[in-house]
Structure 1
Amino acid sequence: MRMVFRWFGEGNDTVSLSHIKQIPGVEGIVWALHDVPAGEEWPMEKILEVRGQAAKYGLHLDVVESVNVHEDIKLGRPTRDRYIQNYIATIEKLAKVGVKVICYNFMPVFDWARTELHKKMDDGSTALFFEKSRIDGIDPFKLVEDINRNSTLTMPGWEPERLAHLTSLFEAYKGVSAEDLWEHLAYFLKAVVPVAERCGIQMAIHPDDPPWPIFGLPRIITGQESLRRLLGIVDSPSNGITLCSGSFGANPENDIIAMIHEFHERIPFAHIRNVRVYDNGDFIETSHRTQDGTVDIAGIVKAYHDHGFTGYARPDHGRHLWDEECRPGYGLYDRALGIMYLWGLWDALERVEPIHRKEGAV
């Protein structure tokens, strides 16, 4: 398991690279050019700038999250070919700086949804919260207002240039079914995966968050069966999965451990986080500790270890602790605590059965 840490860039993150470097076992950053609009080709000079920043601290750039997919591709519009060519050009540039994994998603309009960014927990910390009854009745424009209120930091998946066209986007998605979205995803993958394979890069789709339709918009990467279908579109090691335990874990019917056992060869990137799901469908993001949520984090880490996982992993959303002022879900303290919990589980498993012994090494 190769530990990495999501970083949003200089001037766009309260966490510094010097902080990240001090977290035990972290070897690289998970990054993106968040100021480049979806669909545009990434400028090489900006890519090299981030590489230089990370190199000062001995951190690699192996994992990008995300090269966002333009809505015209998801909608299957005639203009999609231009945006796909830009995507391909970006893949080729990223390969030149050593990128190994590109995380992306295929969610219409919103990359993720929560109804509250700072829900107070019993211990005094706050966390991202999803209230099912509220999302069923809230105006999406009100949700956008709540998400972006008083924020000086970009919110991934809620970029202003995308949300400025919210009315027209909702209109465009009227009549777009889940099957339509699958067809548009297949078109995209058949164009980009061969390029990624040639460049030595693995495309790794992130599941829908939450893994069910919201606001009448289709969601298709929601569980084990959808992952089977995805991997069958292009049978290539470069067509892979970002297995997010928090996103899939919001639906208790998802067996994440079974997913790891079935798809481990096609999981280059793991998001490991916990959520507590309530009987009414609400969920809140908790610490990474198994006992604090509904997701069996210890079992998930064991499943990865059982298969000798050598891919990349990062702690995902954390709580907001000790009065830290940070991007919601992306502070330093709880994610660093999460890493140490994950390493504790991993190191204990290594004491019992080291991976090199499983591989037959002496």
Structure 2
Amino acid sequence: MEYTWRWYGPNDPITLSEIRQTGASGVVTALHEIDNATVWSREAISARRAEIEAAGLTWSVVESVPITDAVKLGTPEREADIATFCQTLCNLAAAGIDVVCYNFMPVADWTRTDLAMPLPGGGTALSFDQTAFAAFDLYLLERPGAGSDYSAAEQSAARAYLDTLDGPARTRLIETVTAGLPGADNHYDLAGFREAIARFAGLDRAGLRRNLRYFLEKVVPVAEDVGIRLAIHPDDPPRPLFGLPRVVSNAEDARWILDAVDRPCNGLTLCTGSYGAGADNDLVAMAREFAARIHFAHLRSVGHDPADPRSFHEADHLGGDVDMAGVMRALIDEQIRREHAGGARLPIRPDHGHTLLDDVHRETRPGYPLYGRFKGLSELRGLESGLSYRVQSS
């Protein structure tokens, strides 16, 4: 397998030189400085690729080419935005880049309520607390209609939780939940967040699925023609938030997406943390069922709160509630199958990571510290090595 590392470009405080020292060989990045409705030019792509290769690395995966609200909403403006997306795919393919990760989550990307939950042994982790989220949604955002999404007991618990927060703590919760899209520098205030959510009013799960199918019908033929493998990222958490539908949350959703346009290049990003945040998702079974259509993998684990499985924290990469050994074994078997069939590579990356050691002294994007991910990458490489040895010895 190809071990990769997410890099946010020249402004990332983690340098390409440091990435190479972790043992990763591939870089996962995007042209984050370009707005969502603009084609990535061949010149800009080539310049970024040259920068990466000068550091002794390869640009392995694009994460992400953004999908505009017009595409998700299905408004007439989507035609131009889909054409932009397709031209960017063509330009990436011309530069030799063949895997593109993207997501189809309305408004909010991955959502957490705490970016620095203390860990028993030191360091911090990202976490999602359902009661804290409800307190934000009901009493800070004051989303119209939010009350219908929570029971009376949940509303009471959320109010009690909010009453424990002073002014700075409430501000921190607001800033955490409304942090916008990873990789972008667009952050919402409460009014802007309400407005963004309101734009999707009336769009239900069936409507969002229709719009995803329309998008796939347009872009998959282009991707196939130019040799790009598309890898849709799951919802995080994998369930509706803010009254908005989500359609990439479980195995049934994955089957629907692959069947919507049943071509090999229409595939998945297996994010074990995002899918794993759904306590009912069987990650090993999903890895085996969808193996041939997994074009990219994010490997991390989560630990659920026994009192409310909707609440979770990001655990050690080999800890938590995800059977990482089972997932890795499934991916190893798929990699062996691909090698025998002359098939495509399987890039993986350690997703997120705890803030550890000197990470606390540098500014990095939430979930993307140096040492925490380095630890995760090392553990995953060791796990793969041990499992591969057993396969070869059996």
Write out per-residue CA displacement over residues 75-122 of structure 1, whole angstroms, 9 at most, x where no aligned residue. Answer: 000110000000011000000111111000000001110001111111
After TM superposition, give the deviation of residue 225 of structure 1 in Å.
0.7
Equivalent positions of 1:167-206 (< 5 A) are 167-206=194-233
Instruction: Identify the residue that residue 270 of structure 1 maps to in structure 2.
Output: 297
User: Which deviates more from structure 2 when the two are superposed, residues 300-309 or residues 100-109?
Assistant: 300-309
Which of structure 1's runs of 4+ aligned residues deviate more than 6 A?
161-164
**Letter of the structure 2 residue corresponding to residue 77 of structure 1:** T
Matched, 1:316 2:342: no
CA distance in structure 2 between the partners assigned to 1:98 and 1:191 by the alignment: 22
Instruction: Identify the residue that residue 284 of structure 1 maps to in structure 2.
Output: 313
CA distance in structure 2 between the partners assigned to 1:75 and 1:158 by the alignment: 20
CA distance in structure 2 between the partners assigned to 1:251 and 1:205 by the alignment: 17
* Structure 2 counterpart of 1:307, from 316, 320, 334: 334
Closer/same/farther in 2, CA of residues 161 and 117 from structure 1, 3 Å limit: closer
Closer/same/farther in 2, CA of residues 144 and 157 from structure 1, 3 Å limit: farther
Closer/same/farther in 2, CA of residues 183 and 143 from structure 1, 3 Å limit: farther
**Letter of the structure 1 residue corresponding to residue 352 of structure 2:** H
After TM superposition, give the deviation of residue 36 of structure 1 in Å.
1.4
SS at match of 1:68: coil
CA distance in structure 2 between the partners assigned to 1:261 and 1:39 by the alignment: 36
Matched, 1:343 2:381: yes
CA distance in structure 1 between the partners assigned to 2:220 and 2:387 by the alignment: 35
After TM superposition, give the deviation of residue 145 of structure 1 in Å.
4.4
* Structure 2 counterpart of 1:239, from 250, 266, 275: 266
Matched, 1:334 2:372: yes
CA distance in structure 1 between the partners assigned to 2:185 and 2:311 by the alignment: 25
SS at match of 2:219: helix
Closer/same/farther in 2, CA of residues 185 and 59 from structure 1, 3 Å limit: same
Instruction: Identify the residue that residue 237 of structure 2 maps to in structure 1.
Output: 210
Equivalent positions of 1:290-301 (< 5 A) are 292-301=319-328
* Structure 1 counterpart of 2:176, from 133, 139, 147: 147
Q: Do the aligned residues in 2 keep the contact of 1:196 with 1:238 (CA within 8 Å)?
A: yes
CA-atom RMSD, angstroms?
Answer: 2.2
Instruction: Identify the residue that residue 97 of structure 1 maps to in structure 2.
Output: 95
Equivalent positions of 1:29-178 (< 5 A) are 29-139=27-137, 145-147=174-176, 156=182, 159-160=185-186, 165-178=192-205
Instruction: Identify the residue that residue 15 of structure 1 maps to in structure 2.
Output: 14
CA distance in structure 2 between the partners assigned to 1:167 and 1:45 by the alignment: 38
SS at match of 1:210: coil
* Greater radius of gyration (CA): 2
Instruction: Identify the residue that residue 226 of structure 1 maps to in structure 2.
Output: 253
After TM superposition, give the deviation of residue 144 of structure 1 in Å.
8.2
Closer/same/farther in 2, CA of residues 157 and 53 from structure 1, 3 Å limit: closer
SS at match of 2:317: coil
Unaligned runs of 5+ in 1: none
Write out per-residue CA displacement over residues 187-241 of structure 1, whole angstroms, 9 at most, x where no aligned residue. Answer: 0000000000111111100000000011101111110011000100101111000
Question: Given the two structures, how large is their TM-score scaled by the length of structure 2?
Answer: 0.84
User: Which deviates more from structure 2 when the two are superposed, residues 272-281 or residues 182-191?
Assistant: 272-281
SS at match of 1:308: helix
Question: Given the two structures, how large is their TM-score scaled by the length of structure 1?
Answer: 0.91
After TM superposition, give the deviation of residue 274 of structure 1 in Å.
0.8
After TM superposition, give the deviation of residue 167 of structure 1 in Å.
3.5
CA distance in structure 2 between the partners assigned to 1:223 and 1:28 by the alignment: 28
Q: Do the aligned residues in 2 keep the contact of 1:76 with 1:184 (CA within 8 Å)?
A: yes
CA distance in structure 2 between the partners assigned to 1:215 and 1:230 by the alignment: 23
CA distance in structure 2 between the partners assigned to 1:283 and 1:179 by the alignment: 28
Closer/same/farther in 2, CA of residues 60 and 220 from structure 1, 3 Å limit: same
Closer/same/farther in 2, CA of residues 118 and 337 from structure 1, 3 Å limit: same
**Letter of the structure 2 residue corresponding to residue 209 of structure 1:** D
SS at match of 1:124: coil
Closer/same/farther in 2, CA of residues 82 and 161 from structure 1, 3 Å limit: farther
CA distance in structure 2 between the partners assigned to 1:239 and 1:36 by the alignment: 25
CA distance in structure 2 between the partners assigned to 1:148 and 1:285 by the alignment: 16
Q: Do the aligned residues in 2 keep the contact of 1:148 with 1:155 (CA within 8 Å)?
A: no
Percentage identity across aligned positions?
41
Closer/same/farther in 2, CA of residues 57 and 148 from structure 1, 3 Å limit: farther
Closer/same/farther in 2, CA of residues 42 and 161 from structure 1, 3 Å limit: farther
SS at match of 1:268: strand
Q: Do the aligned residues in 1 keep the contact of 2:269 with 2:294 (CA within 8 Å)?
A: yes
Kindly indicate which of the two structures has a greater share of residues assigned to helix. Answer: 2
After TM superposition, give the deviation of residue 133 of structure 1 in Å.
1.3
